[in-house]
Homo-oligomer: A and B are copies of this chain.
Amino acid sequence: MMNKPFRAGVVGATGYTGQEVVRLVRGHPRLQLAFATSESEAGRAAAGNGLRYVRSADAPLAEVDVVFTCLPTGESGPWAVRSAAEGVAAIDLSADLRDGDSGAVYGLPELWREEVRAARLVANPGCYPTGILLGLAPLLGAGLVDRQRAVIVDAASGVTGAGRSARRDLLFGEVAEDYRAYGVGNRHRHVPEIATGLARVAGPTEFVFTPHLLPIRRGILETIYVPVPAGVGAAALASACREAYAGEPFIEVKEELPSVKDVLGRNVVALGFAEVTGLSAGVVLLVAAFDNLLKGAAGQAVQNANLMLGLDEPEGLPL
């Protein structure tokens, strides 16, 4: 006997993350798309199966079991809070609820799974923090990081990470054949989220975070310089991650450093480690690669929804 599907709504369905949530919900064996909102596309067919975009004011919130809010930061969080208050499981994909003030649970299942399972309101992590926290948590937990020195995180993201708003600096004519740093000097809006996450794992941790804009559509690569105590090398760090993530379907600890192409279209974070020679104070290279729209956004949101709804965690997620 087939189980009745859970009904899902997507608020803000035409941005890059919203589109990806819609796609995942459509392919999900236990979820059914009940509505998808768009102010600009309201009334138009929402890619397939008879559904049309509705204005968010017209979204039939009472009819759904779970809602994904994918509006711009500032608008998105309140929608999720209101949904949760009305008894709908709510996952917010914006930055609005990640500071914890709203009572939302921070939805990084591999680190805080049971909290997610019990939650009605989840703040889906930012793309950059997902890789950084998943990569560093086992190392910090196992005492493999030299706390006297800062961790350096040099990160690069495809343009869909910046959203789908019409901005001159995101035009093809500007981005193609270019590469640039932005939000440098620990001024990017993900910095407090990274700091909070690391502190939860292992107390205050110093780091430098430098994001760059890549001329690719999707994917993130984080090259992380981990200061290590004397005598600790790449093998120890890899072992700690393998042990911590044994049985985790969405984390891959690789023999070689992963690249963006290795993870596109899959809801995984791939981690790899490399020794650095010639230093008096040791550094190990950690590279984290993932698809910013999947494990960095929509995929992780569905992973959270699966937990909140009591479904198998990997259901409907591409591996």
Contacts and interface: CB of A to CB of B under 8 A. Distances in A.
Contacts of A281: 149-150
Contact of A206 (B149, B210, B280): B280
A113 interface: no
**Most chain B CB neighbours (cut-off 10 Å) among A167, A218, A259:** A259
A179 interface: yes
A261 B178 contact: yes
Interface in A151-208: 152, 154, 156, 158-160, 164-168, 170-181, 184-187, 206, 208
A11 interface: no
A16 interface: yes
Q: How many copies of this protein are present in the complex?
A: 4
**Most chain B CB neighbours (cut-off 10 Å) among A158, A166, A170, A174:** A174
Contacts of A185: 274-277, 285
A278 interface: yes
Interface in A210-225: 210, 212, 214-219, 221, 223, 225
A167 to B, nearest CB: 6
Nearest to A275: B185
